[in-house]
Amino acid sequence: MKQQNYKNHSQLVFGWHGITFFAILALLIGSFVNLSHSAPENIYSASLICVIAVICGFFFAYIRIFALKAQDRAIRAEENLRHFALTGKLLPAQLRIGQIIALRFACDEEFPALAAKAAAENLSNKEIKLSIQNWRADWYRV
């Protein structure tokens, strides 16, 4: 397995981010084109197809959002436990979830100091990730 770093840490799943997204987009566009060209007797069914396409779009977005929220909660708990194990203290309360998620890539040696710096200087997620010298890979989050 290749080494993970800032440049290659984000993951895209071709079937979800590619095929499913474009299939729903095509359904959405096609359904509205169909509605605009429908004969008066077919307006009801064409509008139902549009509603289904919009619902699929919401499903696509919310399924991803809900999964990420669950992963965010797990990462917060894991990193809080890791910080406690390393320092005997919980993570600084002023850290935002995005900062904690970025901190998960820091190795144990860098983690406590970087967490304190991120809290004190209100570093962005990108700044945190770019500050990491020894990258700790996370292959599970998609």
Query: pLDDT below 70 — which residues of the chain?
Result: 1, 5, 7-8, 139-142
Q: How wide is the angle at C-alpha 119 spanned by C-alphas 122 and 99, nearest 5°? A: 75
Establish if 121 belongs to a structural domain. yes
Domain membership of residue 22 as a residue range:
6-131
Establish if 136 belongs to a structural domain. no
Q: What is the pLDDT of residue 1?
A: 57
Establish if 142 belongs to a structural domain. no
Establish if 36 belongs to a structural domain. yes
Domain count for the chain: 1
Establish if 19 belongs to a structural domain. yes
Q: What is the pLDDT of residue 18?
A: 87
Establish if 1 belongs to a structural domain. no
